[in-house]
Amino acid sequence: MKYLLMLFENEKAWDALPQEEAQKVLEEYMAFSESIEKSGNNIAGEALQPTSTATTVRVRDGKRLTTDGPFAETREQMGGFFLVEAKDLDEAIALASRIPAAKSGCVEIRPVMDYSDVMG
């Protein structure tokens, strides 16, 4: 089963982090990525540019409406994701709890929709 682990953190707190601490967190991320690569859980993962780079698009009545900024203004912003393979939710929770963002922000876990039954 595939799960998307979405990393939410406070961008301002991240920006305010002293450089050597930021470096440490990056190393933790690299170690985590490597470990899930080795264990076979990893499918994909990316870090995102900050929300200042975000653009939101809606189409209403055939008209495109483009706005600056992320979909929701919240205290924490989505900063990246991992797509993992896990046998069940408990394994996905165990993986998510090892992501550095779980300590400073939070990680939302969503199972990925499986269309194999419907598509045949």
In whole angstroms, the minimum distance from the beta carbon of 54 to another protein comes to: 27
Contact pick of 1, 26, 44, 65 for another protein (by CB under 8 A): 1
Of the chain, the end-to-end C-alpha distance in Å amounts to 17
Beta strands in the chain, from DSSP E residues, in sequence order: 2-9, 42-47, 55-60, 63-68, 77-85, 106-111
71 Ramachandran zone, left/alpha/beta (phi>0; psi -120 to 50): alpha
Cα gap 38→44, rounded to integer Å = 13
65-94: contacts with another protein (CB under 8 A) = 87-90, 93
In whole angstroms, the minimum distance from the beta carbon of 106 to another protein comes to: 13
Interface with another protein, residue 108, by CB under 8 A: no
User: Residues touching another protein: how many (CB under 8 A)?
Assistant: 9
7 vs 86, which CB is nearer to another protein? Answer: 86
In whole angstroms, the minimum distance from the beta carbon of 3 to another protein comes to: 8
Interface with another protein, residue 117, by CB under 8 A: yes
Token pair belonging to 10? 């406070």
In whole angstroms, the minimum distance from the beta carbon of 98 to another protein comes to: 13
Q: Give the count of beta carbons closer than 10 Å to the beta carbon of residue 98.
A: 14
Name the site residues for another protein (rule: CB under 8 A).
1, 87-90, 93, 109, 111, 117
